[in-house]
Amino acid sequence: TEGALVASIIRGCKAGREAGGVRVVSEYIGITRSIAFKVEDVKEVSEKIREHESTWKRIAEATSGHLKVLSYDIDTKDDVLFLTIRADTDEAMGMNMITIAAQAVGDFLSNELRIPLLTVAGNVDSDKKPSTRTKTQGRGYRVSVEATLSEAIIQKVLKSNSDALLQTARAKLEIGSKLAGALGKNLHVANIIAALYVATGQDVAHVVEGSLADTAVHKDADGVRIKVELPAILVGVRGGGTNLPAQKQCLDLVLRSKTKLRSSVQLAEIVGATVLAGEISLLAAQSTNTLAQAHRTLARGER
């Protein structure tokens, strides 16, 4: 819906293409839910949860033919114990799936151990909220993407130069972000994630986790290397809004390439690559002080 952003992403994609493409690496962390119980003896209950691990895992996986428990964590504070379950939900993003599984596990442990179940969503999972834990441990897909831009590409496509990019990146990403205490040191990652999430039928509120990304810009022997680390890209190609007509059409368009990757993995990597394009182009615009001019020229609202 923003003309300046559409043009900017296209410019960033062009720069990446002329640089020979971008390098993307992804890791599936899994979707999480944190079940909270009220307990009197946290050590005893923790031990009993571990003793019953095979049973409650089987109960969780019985709620869906697509869910597989990957791991779990136990955290305690005062008289509250949190059991955070991390699961593979196949090609679905999986929040509904993991919530249903967490409810079944919570009910079982509450009855078996005679401890009150407080909630199946205890905020340790930080769903749709920024947190240091999500940034460090990841959630959904962790994606890393980078490109090296030559001086010729920076000048021809981005209308800037390497020194300007590096100076602007230092001021904005390193110094400005540190002064603000930012959890995500990036230019505008949330813009691109929000747009792609809307277009492909994802849960748009997960842009919160997506915005925890860090962008780094370094001088390279071949030019300037720009890298984005995204710890929490939550996407799926089944369920939710992915079957809506327009959203399904968008998914079909972006997933046309033949690949051995699972479709949801491919989508997560596409999100990462597009984010990089946005970071590249906005950095160039800010390094040349043409951001305001671009919005005046390309904005679709009234002037």
State the catalytic residues: 2, 203, 295
Q: Which residues pair with 69 in a beta bridge?
A: 87
| Tokens found for residue 27 | 């890791």
| 3-state secondary structure (DSSP) of residue 14 | helix
Token code pair at residue 184: 């995500």
**Burial category of 254 from C-beta neighbours within 10 Å (exposed 0-12, middle 13-18, buried 19 and up):** middle
Cα-Cα-Cα-Cα dihedral sign, residues 279, 282, 288, 289: negative
Identify the three-state secondary structure at position 70: strand
Number of C-beta neighbours around residue 302 at 10 A: 4
Q: What is the DSSP letter of 2?
A: -
- What 3-state class would DSSP assign to 227? strand
List the alpha helices (DSSP H) in 19-130. 42-51, 53-61, 95-113
- Total Cβ atoms within 10 A of residue 54: 8
